[in-house]
Amino acid sequence: MKNILVLCTGNSCRSQMMHGYLQKLAGKKARVYSAGIETHGVNSNAIAVMKEDDVDISQHTSNHIDEYRDVDFDLVITVCDHARENCPWFPSDAQRFHHSFEDPASFKGKPEEVMAKFREVRDTIRNYSAHFVNKYL
């Protein structure tokens, strides 16, 4: 079983959504963790759009990377440029991956426009996660 870490800036949206998809798609092939270089709490819009796709992340917590210093990760995925550039170093032989997803929480607009952006990013993350699981697990 592989240990996968999904890393983002605040561990509130993108990393949480990918955590949910990887956990669902990988099944017993992996233990999935997500963390941030900061913690911002799990975004309620992320929870809502994932629920629409039958993935429940409502019990996830926003975790700081320091909480996982003792976990031996096999795969680490950064999902934003800021996290990749500012992540504190931690000892690991993990294979590293990077894909910068747009931050839906930074989008401004009417509530329905914001939710449309969350769905767009969610769908991009779902597709990336499915490809990742098929290729690396």
Q: Look at residues 39, 65, 75, 53 and name the one whose alpha carbon lies nearest to residue 121.
A: 53
Domains of the chain: 2-136 (3.40.50.2300)
Please give the pLDDT value at position 95: 93
* Dihedral angle computed from the Cα positions of residues 120, 123, 127 and 130, in that order, rounded to the nearest 10 degrees: 150
Annotated catalytic residue within 46, 50, 87, 133: 87
**86-129 pLDDT per residue, tens:** 665 555 789 999 999 999 999 999 999 999 999 999 999 999 99
Annotated catalytic residue within 4, 6, 8, 32: 8
Say whether 80 is catalytic. Answer: yes
HSE-up of 7 (CA within 13 Å, CB side)?
29
pTM of the model: 0.93
Q: Look at residues 117, 119, 124, 133 and name the one whose alpha carbon lies nearest to residue 100.
A: 124
Report the DSSP beta bridge partners of residue 78. Answer: 7, 98
Please give the pLDDT value at position 89: 57
**φ, ψ at 24 (rounded to 5°):** -70, -45
Annotated catalytic residue within 6, 7, 47, 80: 80
Say whether 87 is catalytic. Answer: yes
Say whether 13 is catalytic. Answer: no
